[in-house]
């Protein structure tokens, strides 16, 4: 099997999948989808992702049509089942439930408020409202995540090895800083983030390292 990842350099959902692939040492071809210019709405991409989203992980299988996986959680769990070492999920049922919950706190309870489509919709109707919106909801969500991670964290979100929850945490903290959300009340989250930043996999998956990342002076806020 070979892999092609359709993503966008600053998409937190695509970043999660890059992290999972990097942690497992899986090579892949990268295909950029420029969300700012609307490539996600092209017929070619909608055929891959009916909801116009990234990431899409395309799996080439000899003798079979390509398998196209969407939604970061489904992709990462599929990878964890196919490539078991190192595991993204704990071996015990209680641990798996905790890690899935931490990831879902971000996936369902925080990140959707900063979605590009949502921000564009708000800005078109009341310019400036989109920033108030995202700062309020990200601040509130990260406060809850701090409490959830602090109760049982090791060096990382769960134990002393990076896993699924860390793949969700790191991109979310990047987004919080991007939108000017204070993180003073999140000491556990930032401590875990620092532990992640020391690992080569997290360095390789960072947005600034992606081939479609524009130079800093050309980036939108």
Q: What is the pLDDT of residues 124-182, one digit of tens each?
A: 999 999 999 999 999 999 999 999 999 999 999 999 999 999 999 999 999 999 999 99
Task: Specify the pLDDT at position 92.
Answer: 97
CB-based burial label for 32 (10 Å; 0-12, 13-18, 19+)? middle
- Cα–Cα distance measured from residue 39 to residue 125, given in angstroms and rounded to the nearest whole number: 23
Q: Spell out the CATH class of 93-203.
A: mainly alpha
Structure tokens at 62: 């000899």
Q: Does this model's pTM top 0.85? A: yes
CATH number for 2-85: choose from 3.30.2350.10, 1.10.1420.10, 3.40.30.10, 3.40.50.10490: 3.40.30.10
Structure tokens at 221: 């806020």
- List every span in the chain annotated with CATH 1.20.1050.10: 93-203
Low-confidence ranges of the chain (pLDDT < 70): none
Residue for token pair 């708000």:
122
Task: Specify the pLDDT at position 220.
Answer: 79
- List every span in the chain annotated with CATH 3.40.30.10: 2-85
């Amino acid at each position: 099997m070979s892999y092609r990842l359709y993503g966008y350099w600053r998409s937190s959902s695509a970043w999660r999948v890059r992290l999972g692939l990097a942690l497992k040492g899986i090579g892949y071809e990268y295909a950029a989808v420029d969300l700012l210019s609307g490539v996600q709405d092209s017929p070619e991409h909608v055929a891959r992702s009916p909801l116009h989203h990234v990431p899409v992980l395309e799996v080439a299988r000899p003798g079979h049509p390509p398998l196209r996986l969407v939604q970061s959680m489904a992709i990462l769990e599929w990878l964890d089942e196919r490539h078991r070492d190192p595991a993204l999920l704990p071996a015990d049922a209680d641990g798996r439930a905790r890690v899935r919950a931490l990831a879902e706190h971000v996936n369902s309870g925080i990140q959707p408020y900063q979605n590009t489509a949502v921000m564009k919709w708000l800005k078109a109707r009341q310019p400036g409202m989109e920033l108030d919106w995202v700062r309020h909801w990200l601040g509130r969500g990260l406060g809850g995540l701090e409490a959830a991670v602090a109760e049982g964290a090791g060096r990382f979100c769960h134990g002393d090895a990076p896993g699924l929850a860390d793949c969700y945490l790191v991109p979310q903290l990047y987004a919080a800083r991007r939108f000017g959300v204070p993180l003073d009340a999140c000491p556990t989250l930032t401590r875990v983030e620092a532990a992640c930043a020391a690992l080569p996999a997290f360095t390789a998956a960072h947005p600034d390292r992606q081939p479609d990342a524009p130079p800093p002076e050309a980036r939108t806020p």
